[in-house]
Structures are given as C-alpha cells and as structure tokens.
Structure 1
Amino acid sequence: MHFATLPDARARRAPDGPCLADDRVRLTNAEFAARVRGAAVEFTLRGVGAGDPVALMLPNRVEFVVALFAAWRLGAVVTPVNPSLTAEEAGYQIEDSGARLVVSETQVASAETLSPDSLPQDGPATPLSAPDDHAIALVIYTSGTTGRPKGVMLDHTNLSAMSGMSAAATQLSSMDHSLLILPLFHVNGIVVSILSPLAAGAQATIAGRFNAETFFGTLARVRPTFFSAVPAIYAMLLSRPEHQTADFSSLRFAVCGAAPMPAALITRAEEVFGVPVVEGYGLSEGTCASTLNPLAGPRKPGTVGVPLAGQDVAIMNAGGVLLPPGEAGEIVVRGRNVMRGYLNRPQETAVSIVDGWLHTGDVGRFDEDGYLVLVDRIKDMIIRGGENIYPSEIEAILHRHTDVAEAAVVGDGHPVLGEVPVAFVSLTPGAATGAAELAEFCTGSLAKFKLPAEILIVDSLPRNAIGKVDKPALRDSLQSV
C-alpha cells in the first residue's frame, strides 16, 4: 500500500478504531484521516504540490505525523529537521532541500513558516491523484566524514519495502501498540515506530522528549506492546530504581538500534523487561534496518542479527569481491530498501551505490551461523546516545576561530552515552585562547548534543607517515589518561 492512501484506508476499515496519540490528543482512524485532509488543504493554499519539499521542524507530537501524511497526499516530499539545531544548521538543510514551506513551532527566517497549531482539523474528501511508488517521499539528512550533511533520498518504494520487512520481522498485527520515544526526525522513529505499525493496522502513541524518570509511568499508562530505543536509553532505564516495580506486562518485545549494544546490557534488559530485546543494524541510506536478531529464533547478543528477508547483506573486500563467513570487510547491502541516492550529489551517490550494492563504510563479518558481527567503522562517526555526530562538522566550527591552527575531534568512551566527542586543538603562535572560550565559541553554531565534551589544547597534533592527523593516536591518548 502506498502511504498516501493509508489514512483513508484505515478510516474506511475501522473509523472508530484507535490510530495515533500523544500527550495531548488521541485520534481515531477517522479523526486522523480528517486532520490529514485538512493539513493537505492548508499546504495546497500555500503553494505546495507534487514534488515540492516540505520541512518538518517539530518535536515529537501528533502534528508531525499528520503533516507527513498530508504532504504525501499531495505527492510532496518531506525533510525532517532536528528542532534542536542552530539557525545556521537548520538553514543549511532547509536551503539545500529546497523546502518552500517549514512547519515549525518557531519562526524560521529562511522559508515560509506554518505553525502546527494552525493546521485545520478537517478537510474535504478530495480524490487522490494516482500515487507514484517512485516519487521521493523523504529526504533524511546525514553526514559523511567530510563536508556538509547530505540529503538521503528515500522514495515510497523504499518506505513500503522497509515497513513490510520490519513488520514481518517483528510479527506486527492490528493488536500491537507502538510507543515512540525516539525523535521523529530520525528514520528509525518514522519507520519502526510509526509507519510499520500503522501499515499493519496497529496504533502508535508518541511520547515527548525522552525522560528516564517518567518512562515507567508512561509505560503503565499507554500499555504498548513494543518500543524502540538506543543503548544509552536502556542503560539509563536500568539504572533507575523504578524498574524493580514497573509493569512490563503489556510488552511483547523491544528493539535496540543506532549503536552497538553491549551483550551484557541486552541480557540485563531482557531479564528486567521479561521480553526479547532485539538488536539490529542499519543506516539511513538503507531506510533504517538491514539486520535484526530474530524475535522468534535464537538471538545472539554481541551480534546484530541476520539479514532481513528481502535484503542481501554481504561482506566485500576493497577489490569488490564478496567474502566468505569469518572474514572481515566492508558491509554492503542490496534490496528495495536502498536509497535512490544523495540529493543533488550524483558523484557521491555513484561512490556509495556500485552495481546495486550500498557501501556502508562499516566493517563487519558473518559468524558461522550467519549472524553479523560489527568489527569497526571505516568512517569516524561518533554515536552519542544514538545521535550521529560527525567530527568534520565540529572541526569546521573550531577552525573558524582565528586562534585555532588545527583541530581534530575523536570519540571517547562514555558509560551511558556510548561515546562523546573530544576535541584536540593546537593554537596559532602567540595565541592564549583557552578551552572555555573555544567551547563558548562552538555554542552558537552547534547543537547541544554535538558540543565537545572536552577541548584539549595541545602543542601540535600527531601525524602518521603520510602527514595526515593520526586520529588513532589521539584515541589511544584518551585511553591512557
């Protein structure tokens, strides 16, 4: 089913059935469809049509999903924007995507802004134009190790395929109830916690900003059958005393992704929650997930599971040769879930997708049972509590300071967040700028989660044999402190 038709289909099948809720409102299928129609009319009045990009710069709330489906009803494209980005960061994404309208709680200077509170709650049942499976549905922004963030283009075929794969792997049915606690500007939040359950006839409840202190109360009130989280969230929940008396009886399973989860933490979470915690692996370019530890079959903590049905996941060497089990190489993915490409970046697309294989930049191997083991990351990406941080972005900001000669950012281990960015900075001759001043300098241009946890002033940065900054040596120096 094309997602543009889903709200109307659910309303016809069960108009009074539960569909979507947040902390303020609960919508039946008919009410959700009405809101989508109303928002689509408002978008049309503001000049949005087929192929036009719409930016959603919203926290977790029902209106995000309403606007998402309203845009798709018109054949428009959605780019979700992290509302915690600075004006500079958000402005870059809005401009790069070509968004002509931004739905946001705050005024955005770079484009026409529409408040989510002004979206109509109903609209005429105008007929849908023929949905196009190959039309771009989402542009998710993600960074490489160099340059500015890139727009990952996902079409409706990608979303339908990924939602179907996810639903099949987790055995979703109309009896399920998703609790969304991850941000809606991530493809994980959109696909796993919203699109997959809604397409399966299930319902979804959107929680606001995650809070470990209130999570167990939300769980008892909402009574979901599953939720998806990152390792940092599980670590925070298991550190709370409330888990000893919490009611987990409604849960059927839980999902973990975005960063590797220690095997001991998975085991502990399964003991506390009393349900399977299935860990997976994927990336935005693959529309979220490519492997998952089987819900019904053997789960192997320390691995990220087996390939989802409908995808080919393999290990390839630098020469393009597929490797046998046990040998490490680059993880490559092939299937209907693989992105259409990077927006306006044909050369980078050609490097990432070769002969149908998506090159992930991650190193892994398959064990003797066919389970994928992550070995390392080719890229230098830092994953802080499930949020992707790219050193080049932080380095670029630091280099704007006139007293900075060189800057290099690496990840340092953190017991709860997994990793945090640490910046090494060498100063120009005679400069006396301190770490506190540099930290303040970064604040205006970087979102809070990207700010370095520590800035270390050094005389010079180490270099390898070919003259490049030796980041492994910097990481090793942190471990020896």
Structure 2
Amino acid sequence: MNSGLISIPEQFRLTARAHADRDLVVTQQQNHSFSEIDAASDRIAAALARQGIGKSDRIALYCINCAEFLMAWHGIVKSGATVVPVNLLIAADEICYILGDAEVSGIIYHQAMAEKVSTFRDRLNGISLWAAIGEPQSESDQTLSTWLAESSVTPAVTFDPLDDVAVILYTSGTTGNPKGAMLSHHNLVSYTSSVCAGLQLKPGEDRLLVVLPMFHSFAATVGMLTPSLHGLSLVPVPAFDPILISETIAATDATIFLGAPSMYGVILRLPEEQTANWSSIRYGVSGGAAMPVELMHQFEARFGFPILEGDGPTECSPVTCVNPLDGERKP
C-alpha cells in the first residue's frame, strides 16, 4: 500500500458525503444526487462481489451516455475490478478482439446496444457474467435493476492507488490492433485535480454538458470522472443532435461544453434563434483534433464565450495541456 495516496472509491465517497444532496447527474427527465449515485454504485459493487468479481477481474462497460454509466462505472471500480469501456461505434470483430485482449470476465451493456451484443456474444469465451441496463438481450442475462433492488454490503477492498488499474482505455488502433492504456487510481485522481485547477472549475456550480461518448478518454475523465470526484455536475446527452444539445443547455443551465472541432462546426450552423439557448455556457473545451482558427473566431463571435483547446494521448488520461482560461488570446 502506498501511504498518502487515495483510491477512486475513497475520493468519490469523500465527495459524495460533502455534496450529498447536490445533483451529480442532471437531465431533462431526472436528476441524480451524489448520494444516489454513491448508493447505486455500492449496490452494483455488492452484486458483483456476490458473484466472485474482484481485483483479478476486468468488466466491460458497453453503454450510452446516461446516469447508469456512472453507476456501473463506479460500481465496477468499487468492487476492485477494472473497467473496460467499449467503443459504441466499432464493429463486432474489433469488440471481440478488445474483450479478448483485456481478458474480461463480464460485460454490462445498455439495452440500446442489445442488438449489437447479439452479433458477438456467441463468439466470446470466458465471459461468465452478462448484465443489462434495461431490457436484456437474453433471458439468461442479469439486470442492473435487479441489482439496484437488492441490499448492498459494499465489499471490503484494499486498494493500492499507485499500482491498481482502475480502467483500461483502448486506443483507436490506427497503426495496428487497438492497445489498452492501463490507468491507475492515483493517475486518475491526480489527473482530475489538475483538470479542476487548469479549467478553473467551480464545485457546486459548474455543470458540464457531455455529448462526447463517455467510453472515450476525454469524456470519461474530464466529463464524467472529474465531476464525480470534485463536486461538479454533468449533463449527459446520448447522441450528437445540435437542436437537442441547445435545448438541453437551456433546460439544465449547463455551464461548460465539451466537444470536438467538427461538433463546433455543425453547431455553428444552428438557426439563429438557438443562439440564446447557449447563454449559460461559460466556455467550451475542444479536443481530438486541431481547431481551425477561423471556425474558433466565428463560433466565439456568435455565441459569446471562449473555446479552450486541449491536447494529449489516451495514455495520459488524456489531457497533457490546455489553453488557460485567463491566458492571453491573440487575433
């Protein structure tokens, strides 16, 4: 055990106690407080532990952006297992490769992905646990709703924050097969603290709109884990729809927008009457590719808030640098 360091479950519990009644997840349909997500993830961890899942296991998470993504993610980590988020956009062959390479022993999937699950589940060996968020693809699959209805005796897990791997994020595989970046508890706790400082995020005030897929390192760590560990809120949007995003911002008073340059380009083509819906946004963050300067200038002129560019590889969790909010901006 490395003294002085803290695991993700320990940091999450401290934050959940400090912000118990504040909303961690905000949507137009239902909000979930820190205490609710903490309790739900405890029940999921307990359900996994009852089935022998622990520190030697890796559990895949195949899920759209939603509150249940957080519940399952934190539940897996609390059980001592490692989360392996699965890209929702890749084909069955690549999914099978990733799940085999990671040696996953279980998969939690959202009902929206059930049809795709049917295309690869018979090709996988060694997966003893299948669990659905919503309607299961097979009658033999367990369900998150059942786990959440059961009692929770959170497993007693001793973490080594420096060495224990919390998540394995797979790269795009542009020069070969995808490769898993193994990120430790300390890596991610430290990283999220740096994100808060670098982006001048305000606990109890800022709400991050997360339409970037949370299986990806940028959205997972900046958009999902940073709010979880530091008292912020996130607004998950399951698909990129500019009108839906505008209406969600207006309905939830989101303050930070995370996007890729291509998203900003599409949003810039919104009807003029949608501009006012973005009035609560303090700034946008762009990553994944270089932001064209002209696009940035046009977007900032229309919507009235700055865009900060970040950069970094998945192996670094992923941000290694970002424009300072109060830095000098040259024309």
For normalisation by structure 1, the TM-score amounts to 0.59
Q: Return the match for 2:132 from 87, 112, 115.
A: 115
For 1:424-466, what per-residue CA distance to the aligned partner results, in whole angstroms no more than 9, with x for missing partners? xxxxxxxxxxxxxxxxxxxxxxxxxxxxxxxxxxxxxxxxxxx
d(CA) in 1 for partners of 2:35, 2:95 = 34
The match for 2:283 is 253
The match for 2:137 is none
1:350-429 paired onto structure 2 within 5 Å:
none
The match for 1:130 is 158
- Report SS of the residue matched to 2:39: helix
The match for 1:139 is 168
d(CA) in 2 for partners of 1:281, 1:172 = 18
Q: CA deviation at 1:144?
A: 4.5
1:56 is aligned to 2:61 = yes
For 1:170-221, what per-residue CA distance to the aligned partner results, in whole angstroms no more than 9, with x for missing partners? 1112111111110011000111111112222111121111111322111101
1:166 is aligned to 2:195 = yes
Counterpart residue identity of residue 165, structure 2: I
Contact 2:43/2:153 (<8 A) preserved:
no
For 1:259-296, what per-residue CA distance to the aligned partner results, in whole angstroms no more than 9, with x for missing partners? 01101111112122211210111110111111111111
* Structure 2 portions without partners, runs of 5+: 1-5, 135-142
Contact 1:7/1:36 (<8 A) preserved:
no
Aligned residues, how many? 301
The match for 1:286 is 316
d(CA) in 2 for partners of 1:25, 1:164 = 28
d(CA) in 1 for partners of 2:290, 2:52 = 43
Q: CA deviation at 1:48?
A: 1.2
Moved more, 62-71 or 42-51: 42-51
1:152 is aligned to 2:181 = yes
d(CA) in 1 for partners of 2:131, 2:267 = 36
Q: CA 1:169–1:187 in 2, change beyond 3 Å: closer, same or farther?
A: same
Contact 1:194/1:204 (<8 A) preserved:
yes
Contact 1:179/1:226 (<8 A) preserved:
yes
Larger Rg: 1
Q: CA deviation at 1:249?
A: 2.6
Q: CA deviation at 1:47?
A: 2.6
The match for 1:392 is none
Which has the larger strand fraction?
1
Q: Return the match for 1:266 from 296, 302, 305.
A: 296
Counterpart residue identity of residue 9, structure 1: L
1:230 is aligned to 2:260 = yes
Tell which has more relative contact order, 1 or 2 (C-alpha 8 A, sep 6+).
Answer: 2
For 1:143-178, what per-residue CA distance to the aligned partner results, in whole angstroms no more than 9, with x for missing partners? 454321111111112211221111111111211111
Contact 2:208/2:234 (<8 A) preserved:
yes
The match for 1:65 is 70
For 1:49-70, what per-residue CA distance to the aligned partner results, in whole angstroms no more than 9, with x for missing partners? 0131010011112111111111
Contact 2:237/2:245 (<8 A) preserved:
no
1:93 is aligned to 2:117 = no
Contact 1:23/1:207 (<8 A) preserved:
no
Q: CA 1:87–1:24 in 2, change beyond 3 Å: closer, same or farther?
A: farther
The match for 1:397 is none
- Report SS of the residue matched to 2:258: strand
For 1:2-33, what per-residue CA distance to the aligned partner results, in whole angstroms no more than 9, with x for missing partners? 21124432332232221123455321121111
Q: Return the match for 2:86 from 81, 88, 96.
A: 81
- Report SS of the residue matched to 1:44: helix
For 1:102-136, what per-residue CA distance to the aligned partner results, in whole angstroms no more than 9, with x for missing partners? 11132433233210232233643536433321211
RMSD: 1.9
For normalisation by structure 2, the TM-score amounts to 0.85
Contact 1:238/1:269 (<8 A) preserved:
yes
d(CA) in 2 for partners of 1:115, 1:158 = 29
The match for 1:15 is 20
d(CA) in 1 for partners of 2:226, 2:172 = 26
The match for 1:39 is 44
Q: Percent identity?
A: 32
d(CA) in 2 for partners of 1:103, 1:88 = 18
Counterpart residue identity of residue 139, structure 1: I
- Report SS of the residue matched to 1:168: helix
